[in-house]
Homo-oligomer: A and B are copies of this chain.
């Protein structure tokens, strides 16, 4: 069944109208009266609808029922990734959305080479949010992860530490496995914090520890900065029984 993401402000309990890009997409799919479609508010609710009228620039829908999306994970996983060079964050946004992340947050750290100014960061955030929306649609999620940035490493730690389980991955840690941290006690929310290309500095690891994050290893192989968060996210989803 075709799926459309509609702004929550445009959601009505009994009828809806697809416009703009959604209407264009509906035309490509050659939707006609009586066809069934799913409308997602991008906040976790799916609406089962039937097409009632097709015009050039708008498709009218009758809403039959609404349900919490079945494609959302049982835990909220937030990905905190240090600013990286090139399109690595874009890559992580796309993949982490597919894999079920709840939010994706970037932050500066000592060894970050990429340091966008506020203006360019604002533009990037718009583009990043679109990447998340597109990946959410493709992977049939009911929620579009929010992509945001925090302005300092300390702020990222404070933000991350609010989760039931908050983990910072460090390539020089060889004792505490992610599994040991996960199996310690049940959790509803997880923060996964990973470093830039050059890794974290030891002082940053101490700061993370003081902020309440567990310092864990992702194994004996050195992962690239864009691989580590996706590996950890896959492991969390596996551990909580998502697949």
A interface residues (Cβ-Cβ under 8 A, vs B): 70-71, 95, 98-100, 138-141, 177-179, 216-224, 227, 230-232, 234-235, 237-239, 241-243
Given contacts A218-B243, A243-B179, A243-B218, contact A98 B223 (CB under 8 A): yes
Report the separation of the CA atoms of residues A179 and B242 in the bound assembly, to the nearest whole angstrom. 9
- Copy total for this chain: 2
Question: Which residues on the B side are within 8 Å of A221 (C-beta)?
Answer: 71, 98-100, 139-141
Question: Which residues on the B side are within 8 Å of A98 (C-beta)?
Answer: 221-224, 227
Question: Which residues on the B side are within 8 Å of A238 (C-beta)?
Answer: 178-179, 234-235, 238-239
B141 near A99 (CB under 8 angstroms)? Answer: no
Report the separation of the CA atoms of residues A224 and B137 in the bound assembly, to the nearest whole angstrom. 12
Report the separation of the CA atoms of residues A213 and B122 in the bound assembly, to the nearest whole angstrom. 48
Which of B179, B217, B231, B239 contacts A99 (CB under 8 A)? Answer: B231
